[in-house]
Amino acid sequence: MSFMDIDEKIKKIEDEIQKTPYNKATSHHIGKLKAKISKLKEESLQRKSSGTKGKGFHVKKTGDSTAVLVGFPSVGKSTLLNELTNAESKVGAYQFTTLDIIPGIMEYRGAKIQIFDIPGIITGASGGKGRGREILSVARTANLILIVLDVFNPQHLDIILRELRDIGIHPNEDKPDVRVRRKKLGGVQVSATEELTHLDETTIRSIINEYGMHNADVLIRGDVTMDQFIDALESNRAYIPAVIVLNKVDLVDDTYIKELKKTIPDFIPISADKNLNINYLKDQIFENLNLIRVYLKPQGKKVDFEDPLIIKKGTSVIDVCGKLHREFVKNFRHAKIWGDSVKFPGQKTGPDHILEDKDILRIIVKK
Ligand SMILES: Nc1nc2c(ncn2[C@@H]2O[C@H](COP(=O)(O)OP(=O)(O)OP(=O)(O)O)[C@@H](O)[C@H]2O)c(=O)[nH]1
């Protein structure tokens, strides 16, 4: 099947969905059609990326975590990258100055966060859509997406979100909790932990069948929608937190910003050029990456406040031991902690204790 065939096929099925009234009796049919579309889109994506293999949008990751800047040309991504990081990205007074992926390192609260600038989301006539998508797929590998909007073009947000979704990225969404276990016999058995208001068993079966499974146990947690259920069956989905950044606010007044707040609920207003609100943005990047700092206190030594260990929120004491040295895991006795995660300073904890930002940690091992 050529690209054209795939696109046409998708269009045809979309038209059919449009024409089909949605009700209990048609739900399973619509589910099947949506699953077909999802599979075709996946096929088209796979081809686009294999076609350009080796041309190199592979970016080396360094640092504790990575974020990527996504936006239209000339919204000020290069300027912002230069403000946030040590990179020296070219800033152009015309569009399309950024043609490569430019990485920079932002040092903040002792963490080294790698930030990529990728070319504007619409890459223009020469780039073509396929290449644009290819580049955009770099976002898939990031831990955080920074959607950069120009203050005069807030409507770009919807386009960006759609483009991201088209390549399987779901910004700010939780991964649907759906487990499917194939079996040899017994048909499709569905169990759910709560009432499903968007899906019935026939629809679930029809979708599962479309994916070539006729015997399987399906366990669903949460009231998932039909689209979420289909997404859960695709392996290629990325659920990544995103922050919306509104740049060039130096060009408008407060009333303008207030108006925008009515249509875009959550954005961070900044001016990359005039250095407005950049520190707050750094703070929000750190927060949304879900990072915390832990200061280590080696036995008989002072706390190392200079070089904190940067870890993910939710990390336990024993996970930290694993990062440091396997001896700490093997000979772990207990930990002593000073900070927000404990009731009193120097409290003894076990291996499963979850650390919090700015905790001081001392690991005590068996002699
Ligand atoms: N007034 C104002 N101008 C800005 C701001 N940030 C960037 N600019 C200007 O906007 C223009 C585009 O900035 P770039 O940083 O090159 O934009 P870009 O998004 O990297 O553009 P591409 O490389 O084409 O993708 C330049 O003339 C910048 O000086 C800002 O906060 N306020």
For the segment 66-115, what is each residue's pLDDT rounded down to a tens digit? 999 999 888 999 899 999 987 665 555 444 455 567 778 899 988 899 99
| Residue 249 CB neighbour total at 10 angstroms | 21
Task: Enter the tokens of residue 309.
Answer: 């260990």
| 248 CA distance to ligand 1 middle (Å) | 8
| Residue 314 CB neighbour total at 10 angstroms | 11
**Per-residue buried b or exposed e for 198-230, using 16+ beta carbons within 10 Å of the residue's own CB:** ebeeebbbbbbbbeebeebebebeeebebebbb
Largest Cα–Cα distance of the chain, in whole Å? Answer: 74
**Is the pLDDT score of 294 beyond 50?**
yes
**Is the pLDDT score of 55 beyond 50?**
no
Residue among 157, 164, 171 at smallest CA distance from 263:
157
Q: Is 123 in the pocket of ligand 1 (CB under 6 A)?
A: no
Residue among 224, 236, 223 at smallest CA distance from 165:
236
First-to-last C-alpha distance (Å) of the chain:
66
Q: Which residue, by CA, sits nearest to atom 25 of ligand 1?
A: 73
| 197 CA distance to ligand 1 middle (Å) | 46
Q: Mutate which of 96, 273, 278 to test ligand 1's pocket (most atoms within 8 Å of Cβ)?
A: 273
Q: Which residue, by CA, sits nearest to atom 4 of ligand 1?
A: 273
**Is the pLDDT score of 238 beyond 70?**
yes
| 145 CA distance to ligand 1 middle (Å) | 19
Q: What is the mean pLDDT of residues 170-194?
A: 91
Q: Tell me which of 28-37, 117-126, 336-345 is least confident.
A: 117-126
Measured CA to CA, the distance from residue 123 to residue 119 in angstroms comes to: 7
Which domains occur in the chain, in start order?
A: 3-51+176-236 (no CATH), 65-172+239-288 (3.40.50.300), 294-365 (3.10.20.30)
Q: Which residue, by CA, sits nearest to atom 5 of ligand 1?
A: 273
Q: Which residue, by CA, sits nearest to atom 10 of ligand 1?
A: 76
Predicted complex ipTM: 0.96
- At 116 the pLDDT is 87
Q: Mutate which of 72, 91, 95, 275 to test ligand 1's pocket (most atoms within 8 Å of Cβ)?
A: 91
Residue among 178, 206, 182, 203 at smallest CA distance from 191:
178
Q: Which residue, by CA, sits nearest to atom 14 of ligand 1?
A: 76
- At 79 the pLDDT is 92
**Is the pLDDT score of 125 beyond 80?**
no
Q: Is 76 in the pocket of ligand 1 (CB under 6 A)?
A: yes
Measured CA to CA, the distance from residue 114 to residue 320 in angstroms comes to: 22
Q: What angle do CA 142, 155, 44 make, to 5 degrees?
A: 50
**Is the pLDDT score of 233 beyond 70?**
yes
Residue among 308, 288, 306 at smallest CA distance from 361:
308
- At 326 the pLDDT is 87
Strand 216-221's sheet: what is its strand order?
A: 177-182, 216-221, 188-192
Tell me which long-range contacts 248-253 makes (C-beta under 8 A, separation of at least 24): 248/75, 248/76, 248/150, 248/151, 248/152, 248/272, 248/273, 249/151, 249/276, 249/277, 250/274, 250/276, 251/151, 251/152, 252/151
